[in-house]
Amino acid sequence: MSTTNNEREVILSVRHVDVAFDVGGKKKFKAVSDANFDIYRGETFALVGESGSGKTTLGRAVIRINPCTAGEILFNGERISGKISKQQDRNVIRNIQMIFQDPAASLNERATIEYCISEGLYNFHLYKDNEDRIAKVDKALEDVGLLPEHKSRYPHEFSGGQRQRVGIARAMIMEPQFIIADEPISALDVSIRAQVLNLMNKLKKEKNLTYLFIAHDLSVVRFIADRIAVIHLGKIVEIAESEDLFKYPVHPYTISLLSAVPMPDPIIEKNRDSIVYNKEEDDPNAAPREMREIRPGHFVYANDEDMVAFEKRLEKLESYHAE
Amino acid sequence: MAEKRIVLSAKDVEVKFRVRQNYLTAIRNVSLDLYEGETFAIVGESGSGKSVFTKTFTGMLESNGRITNGSIMFYGRSATDPTTGEQVENPGIDLVKLVKDKDWEGIRGAKIATVFQDPMTSLNPIRTIGSQIVEVIEKHQKISKQEAKEQAINMMSRVGIPNAADRFDEYPFQYSGGMRQRIVIAIALSCHPEILICDEPTTALDVTIQAQIIKLIKDLQKELGFTTIYITHDLGVVAKVADRVGVMYGGQIVEYGTAEDIFYDPKHPYTWALLSSLPQLGVKGEDLYYITGTPPSLFNKIVGDSFAPRNPKALQIDFVKEPPFFQVSETHFAKTWLLDPRAPELEKPEVIHDLHGKIEQMTGKGGAFYVDDE
Amino acid sequence: MNYFKKHMFDKYSLKKDDFGKLPQENEPETNEAEINEDELFGFAEFDEKKSEVIAAPRYSYWKSVWKTFISSKFTVAVAIFVVLVVSFSFIYPAFSDYDPMVAPHINDVDWKYLAPSWQHIFGTDNIGNEVFDVVWEGARNSLIVSLTATAINMIVGIVIGAIWGFSKKMDKWMIEIYNIISNIPFLLLAMILAYVLRNKFSHLGEFGAFIPLIITMTITDWIFVAYFIRTQVMIIRDREYNLASKCLGTSTWTMITKNILPYLVSVIMTYISRQVPALISYEVFLSYMGLGLGQQYASLGRTISQYTTYMNGYPHLFWIPVSILAIISISLYIVGQKLADAADPRTHR
């Protein structure tokens, strides 16, 4: 994909990536097909889709849990997908970290918080001596708003929000450049979500991080993301700057997703119906589609025929916003 | 609102659980009047007691829990006097007095039905969908097998199962999550209940499916005229479904009123905090408002206002004495000392001023995201 | 979570009248008259850090296991009993002069078939030996054999099972080995081994004599332990916290010892608590079939098989060793089960 902002440095490049799984016999299920996008250093890139859309699969392909069946992933210009050397593998682990969805499931319940946070330090021996390690753990806890005295406790003694912050501290202690956050707030209570989002933003600024933020809720993503990619049944259908996606949504699936999220506003909600997107209505004989740039930095999955309709819609939206 | 009929009236309900050696007070003196045909949404975080409270309406508390105080009067639909033909008020039953499963027959499932979050907890995985609906119909109505089957298929198509007759003999695993939840709704509605309790019915579903299920419940409510209690933690869902809203915190309803009251004119600091921390209202580059700490432990006796320890603007009296309900308007009540005449003036946070305007700016007029061509 | 709830509630479900006697809640004495409400309508102080403090006392897994274990008087009583019985069966034979190859009273008619009495606690047998001596000597040997075999089975089984459960490559051929081994007729194998290994280890002294039996009890049995552990490992292998460890670069071995095995303490305990009694009866069975220890060693199995003949004429000869066997097996099983329960964090509080 051509970069619109040439002065920006690409940190992660996903090039025509397919991820397929065996489903008994010779059959393969393509969870992600032809994912193709760049993530720039310092931005928050959101990948939004419903369950089964392949968003988590793609995130895990980046961190080498799921192998790519086609295409390649570059990190700082170096290929990190497929067979790579042990040194490179360790390099990926040090620089790309993950925050998980369910803070109750992603911490080892039989280990103290100190061990949970130190795990990465142990594996890469990132400390001079034991004193240094403990100092680092204390600092990491402090960074996420927890107290050093917490480190001798076990995960189940914490609330959901606190646990999620432990998960964040565990990733941050590796001093990564890139963080994959897989639905980091959807398992949390509403009142805790804001705190975790704030924390993620604060750490991003302080440590100059880049986020791949995986989510299912577009309205939450708008607050945190710089750019948003909408993924549907393994295909990325639209990529745009976050404000643009809300102002000029062109792909029918994006529109259906936007309209489906209930807004905390009774006047609006009582009077609107969600717009249903039905992929089956697509003509199977339609010309092949690809990602096309419809506005600067705004890409949509379309063929010539679609483009006519999308451009018409875009024109309308632009005139609407010009008012 | 005032002239509306009350179908269910809970008064000072208190529920305690025994957990090992301790007693946990899950619900602390909660009262609620439910009007016929309305949708009442109960919103709260996990542990606020929203599920426990509604479970008392169907006698489905876990075996270590008991209602230790209060009454829950269920009136149901008014009956027609056979001699005079006039509408006669139902004298009502106190649900708290029902103990045995036998007492609950004719109420649980028949008059008050529940739809739970996970459809698989309500469906038997090794029996066909059809037989499960038929079973419920036969249990509550005396009709032939054939008629029951017809009713079941009818119900299935009503909740939006395509080719209902063909899918009658399929098993739950052959249905998608959204379709299963439709079936659960079909089962719940097959005996024409007067109250439908929806306990986070869409939390496990995708947003697009959620939108369909919510619409389905709404349409059926219009058609069949039942009263809905909707439990959720999602304020967006509340805004979509609710006529009236009760905000629960620490085992109590702390504020209730119409949806408009709660969203546009909230009075309780907890409601303020909940609304302010919505990421939808966030401005990029700025911090979101957030609530510190964790909800109170219900094992301890709660003194004063249960939200006070997390409320940066708490009053001293909040730590000493429990506030009563203050009336804000005819429909709107809030349990906070801020409404006491002696309290200092405190405006709601800036973020939630002009909530409607802010949301509309994001979603376009009518929430259509500027897309109105199709 | 639902399972947890159910488990918790089943265990602690209560009777209706329990609610009648609520413990007196400590109501802070707020004397309404003393408070001047009007003065309290100012803002209170607020400390954000305070809300992060966890008030609950510190949790420690093993301390909680211990506390839960000793919280039941019955369990403690059985545990003490087990310790006494096991240590007695090791101490007593050291002081008795019983030797299976020597029967000092074999020609003394007055010493044979005596019923239990104060002089002869368990009575005497067909060759004038004290049944008390025979039984405890036998119990000791049976325990040595079965405990050693259990230890070997568990250690080998857990190590192999853990790796087996983790490695998808290994699973393919391990399953085949498992299928083959589990189809070997055990009795046939035991007979061959008894024949092949006879006297092979006699130069190692008394313990050497136990080795053939221990080999018979472990040669195939470990794979069942391994298979059990493999299944357990597979259940928790793909949980998110293991994925998290993988993302942090944790090695497979550290994952097994730090992430997997600590979760299996309880199920392993349950397995052991079944394995020990099972192997004791194994020993009895093998000795009964003549495949157990040699002539010169007493064991519970040999004793029972010898005395079976007298079941009708002198029932105490049969029933006393059988009862001792039952008591040891059952109490070991109970203690093991209770330990397994205590090791399950769901029972902690």
Higher pLDDT, C79 or B4: C79
- Based on the fold, state whether residues C44 and C133 are members of the same structural domain: no
Give the span between the Cα atoms of C227 and B193, in whole angstroms: 51
Residue C115 or C283, more confident: C283
Judgement on whether residues C183 and C41 belong to the same structural domain of the protein? no
d(CA B331, CA B354): 21
pLDDT in tens, A241-288: 998 998 899 999 998 888 888 889 998 888 877 777 776 556 667 788
Residues C34 and C178 in one domain: no
Percent pLDDT > 70 in chain A is 95
Q: Which of C240, C344, C346 to mutate against chain A (most A CBs within 10 Å)? A: C240
pLDDT band with cut points at 50, 70 and 90 for residue B368: low
Return mean pLDDT, chain A. 89
- Residue A281 has a pLDDT of 56
More confident residue, C135 or C107: C135
Nearest residue of B to residue C32, measured between CA atoms: B321
Torsion (CA) B126, B131, B133, B136 in degrees, nearest 10: -100
In a domain, C128, yes or no: yes
Average pLDDT over residues C332-346: 89
Structure tokens at C110: 């007055």
For residues B108-118, give the mean pLDDT: 88
Q: Are residues C118 and C15 in the same domain?
A: no
Chain B hits for A192, CB-CB cut-off 8 Å, are: 290-291
Q: How far is CA C101 from the centre of its chain?
A: 33
Specify the length of chain A in residues. Answer: 323
Q: What is the DSSP letter of C38?
A: G
Give the domain CATH number at C119.
1.10.3720.10
Mean pLDDT, to the nearest integer, of B108-135?
88
Count of structural domains, chain C: 2
So what's the pLDDT on residue C103?
Answer: 73
**Is residue A194 predicted with pLDDT exceeding 60?**
yes
Most confident of A163-177, B200-214, C30-44, C62-76: A163-177
Percent above pLDDT 90 for chain C: 28
Give the pLDDT band (50/70/90) at residue A117: very high
**Do B239 and A268 count as a contact with CB atoms less than 8 A apart?**
yes
Chain A residue numbers touching B208 (CB-CB < 8 A): 50, 256-257, 260, 274, 276-277
Asked if the model's pLDDT at residue C197 lies above 70, the reply is yes
Q: What is the pLDDT of residues A15-45, one digit of tens each?
A: 999 999 887 767 788 899 899 999 999 999 9
* Overall average pLDDT of the B245-258 stretch: 95
Task: Write out the H or E segment, with its range, that includes residue B167.
Answer: helix B164-167
Could you tell me if C79 and C8 lie in one domain?
no
Nearest to A267 among B45, B235, B356 (CB): B356
| pLDDT mean across residues, chain C | 82
Substitution target from C14, C25, C29, C30 for chain B, most B beta carbons within 10 A? C14
Chains touching chain B, criterion 3+ CB pairs below 8 Å: A, C
Please, which residues have CB within 8 angstroms of residue B147's CB and are 6 or more apart in sequence?
A: none
Q: Is the pLDDT of residue B48 over 60?
A: yes
| Helix extents (H) in C13-130 | 61-70, 73-95
Of the segments B175-179, C116-120, C256-260, which one has the largest average pLDDT value? Answer: C256-260
In angstroms, the CA C225 to CA C272 distance is 10
- % of chain A surpassing 90 pLDDT: 54
Helix (H/G/I), strand (E/B), else coil: A161: helix
Average pLDDT over residues C237-257: 91
Contact A123 C249 (CB under 8 A): yes
pLDDT tens-digit map of A298-308: 999 998 888 99
Cβ distance A227 to A242 under 8 Å? Answer: yes
CATH topology for A2-322?
Rossmann fold (3.40.50)
A91: pLDDT strictly greater than 80:
yes
Out of B9-23, C229-243, C284-298, the most confident range is C229-243
Contact criterion met (CB < 8 Å) for C46 and B312: yes
* Distance, CA of A149 to CA of A112 (rounded, Å): 12
Question: What integer is the mean pLDDT of B289-309?
Answer: 85
Check residue B104 and give its pLDDT.
86
| A54-80 mean pLDDT | 92
Does the beta carbon of A119 lie under 8 angstroms from any beta carbon of chain C?
A: yes
Average pLDDT of span B3-28: 87
Among A97, A107, A111, beta carbon nearest to C258: A111
Whether C102 has a pLDDT exceeding 80, the answer reads no
- Inter-chain CB proximity B46 and A219 less than 8 Å: no
Mean pLDDT across the stretch A162-186? 93
Q: Which two tokens stand for residue B341?
A: 């005449």
Q: Which residues of A touch B288 (CB under 8 A)?
A: 194, 197-198, 223
Residue B366: its pLDDT value, please?
Answer: 64
Residue in B with minimal Cα distance to C9: B64
Residue with tokens 């009136």: B75
One-letter amino acid for residue B186 of the chain: A
Say if CB B40 and CB B244 are below 8 A apart.
Answer: yes
Mean pLDDT across C47-74:
80
Do C109 and C8 share a structural domain?
A: no
| C80 and C40 fall within a common domain | no
Domain ranges, residue C7: 2-52
Q: Is the pLDDT of residue B355 over 90?
A: no
Q: Where are the domains of chain A?
A: 2-322
Q: pLDDT band for position C57 (50/70/90)?
A: confident
pLDDT given for residue C18 in this prediction? 42
> Which of A81-90, A186-195, C33-42, C303-312 ranks highest by mean pLDDT?
A81-90
Q: Let me know whether C219 and C312 are in one domain.
A: yes
Confidence of residue C226 (pLDDT cuts 50, 70, 90): very high
Please compute the mean of the pLDDT values over residues B133-138 and round it to a whole number: 89
Question: Which of B284, B287, B369 has its CB closest to that of A259?
Answer: B369
Q: What is the pLDDT of residue C156?
A: 96
pLDDT greater at residue A8 or residue B364 = A8
**Minimal Cα distance from C1: which residue of A?**
A104
Task: Give the list of residues 6+ apart from residue B185 with CB closer than 8 angstroms, or none.
Answer: B115, B159, B201, B213, B216, B217, B220
Report the pLDDT value the prediction gives residue A237, as an integer from 0 to 100: 94
Q: Do C241 and C94 reside in the same domain of the chain?
A: yes
Mean pLDDT of chain B: 87
